[in-house]
Amino acid sequence: MGVRRNGVSLAFRSALLLACAGAIVASAQRSKTQAHSGAVTFHGDVAPILERRCQGCHADGSTPLATYNEVKPKAEAIVEAIKSRRMPPWFADPKVGEFANEPRLSADEIRVIESWLAGGTLAGKAGMLRHVLASTPEPLSPDLVLTASKPLAIEANNALDYRYLILSLPFTFDRWIRAAEIRPSNRRAVHHAVLYVRDPRSKWLREQAAGEPYAPRDAEALARARAVTDEVLAVYAPGADGMLCPDGMAKRVPAGSDLVLQIHYARSAEATADQPEVGLAIAPETPKKRVVTLPFAKGAAGRPLTTRPLLVDALLVSLFPRTYLPGVGADFDIVEPGGISEPVLKVAPNTIGLQLNYAFKSPRPMYKGGALRWTPRPAAGAAASEPGDDSDESMTGYYDIAVDLNVSTQRILAQQ
């Protein structure tokens, strides 16, 4: 999946909403502000950093970091967590690969929060924004926001709770999408969500009305709904960014398509609700390359997984391993046609239940005949795998590759 460049989101409605969500950001950088004088305060200096860098995950939950009263007692823990680089979380081995969406705080940002602690955690005046950090990128505005017409009710003690929502699009000619984000209103309710582009020729879920949420009634109906081959526009999982294509690249949405949002709600002890929305940013011009999101075939827990070979040259844009194997890290390699492999990402075991995506700073070339290998790497002494909420998802995920515009989706990978 594509992504956040430094951790801000699609600006859905107003600047206030900016902070929520893992994220999408344009590459434009704000101009450097001069060092400011005077004491560092929460409202003047610290809040904007937390808003952009932390609240995607810490707006609520067990460690809310939104208001002064929430943040002040945690000041020391925050400084410790950011200096040790434990927060924001990032599991890629720094020795392998460089990533455009690494949410690493700048030295400047760390310094501001440290000085705030050292200076006595002053509140300052609400609305007095003084410190606009140079590293904070300008958010990208969505051109189109589609919202579920009413909240989806989630029953208590739900199991394998999948919903489908068909969202109509107004496109009468092919459009190119450079960024997309799925935004649940109730993040804690969502296990994961996938936004598909349904081609006008696709028969998938045709019997369902647009706008009406569909909950498959039994295992057979669920299996039918999940057996999808349509293209993926964006994926949401706790911790993951939205999708952002590198410059000059975009995803295609054919004329007459609509969107299908699939949401898997996590098992919940209490009844709750969620009203998801999705945002799309349209590319200003025809891109040079088309980005396609491909699913990893489902792997047997703990066994290496290799994709089918490429039929064309391509660029590997990003990797989004979703795994629910506690204590198991992952190595990703590009396997060249001759058999030589090149490591592109090493992910440490998932310790806090987050599913991050990794967007390469420079997309990695892959050649015709090449493939991608995912090797699970159990940490020394780790217990054998324990399936999560849904046992068929112990090792799954997506990779984004870019191909020439004339390459059809069916001609990207060799058939089985």
CA distance 48 to 54: 10
Nearer residue to ligand HEC within complex by CB, 85 or 303: 85
Nearer residue to ligand HEC within complex by CB, 22 or 299: 22
Q: Extract the tokens encoding 407.
A: 């390459």
Nearer residue to ligand HEC within complex by CB, 114 or 199: 114
Give the nearest distance from C-beta 78 to ligand HEC in angstroms. Answer: 4
Give the nearest distance from C-beta 155 to ligand HEC in angstroms. Answer: 25
Nearer residue to ligand HEC within complex by CB, 102 or 277: 102
Cα separations in angstroms, 246 against 26, 229, 306, 351, 363: 10, 24, 25, 29, 8
Spatial contact of 59 and 22, defined as CB atoms under 8 Å apart: no
Segment lying near ligand HEC (by CB under 6 A), choices 50-58, 193-201, 296-304, 329-337? 50-58
Please state whether the peptide bond connecting residue 216 to the residue before it is cis, i.e. omega within 30 degrees of 0: no
Place of tokens 């994220």: 23
Residues of this chain, 95-124, that bind ligand HEC according to CB under 6 A: 103, 105
CA distance 385 to 348: 15
Closest CA to 374 of 297, 290, 310, 288: 297
Give the nearest distance from C-beta 88 to ligand HEC in angstroms. Answer: 4
Spatial contact of 236 and 320, defined as CB atoms under 8 Å apart: no
Q: Binding to ligand HEC by residue 239, rule CB under 6 A? A: yes
Residues of this chain, 56-85, that bind ligand HEC according to CB under 6 A: 56-58, 61-63, 74, 77-78, 81-82
Nearer residue to ligand HEC within complex by CB, 70 or 342: 70
Give the nearest distance from C-beta 51 to ligand HEC in angstroms. Answer: 10
Q: Extract the tokens encoding 73.
A: 């007692």
Residues of this chain, 305-364, that bind ligand HEC according to CB under 6 A: 352, 354
Size of the site for ligand HEC (CB under 6 A): 22
CA distance 276 to 180: 13
Place of tokens 């489908």: 164
Enumerate binding residues for ligand HEC (CB under 6 A).
53-54, 56-58, 61-63, 74, 77-78, 81-82, 86-89, 103, 105, 239, 352, 354
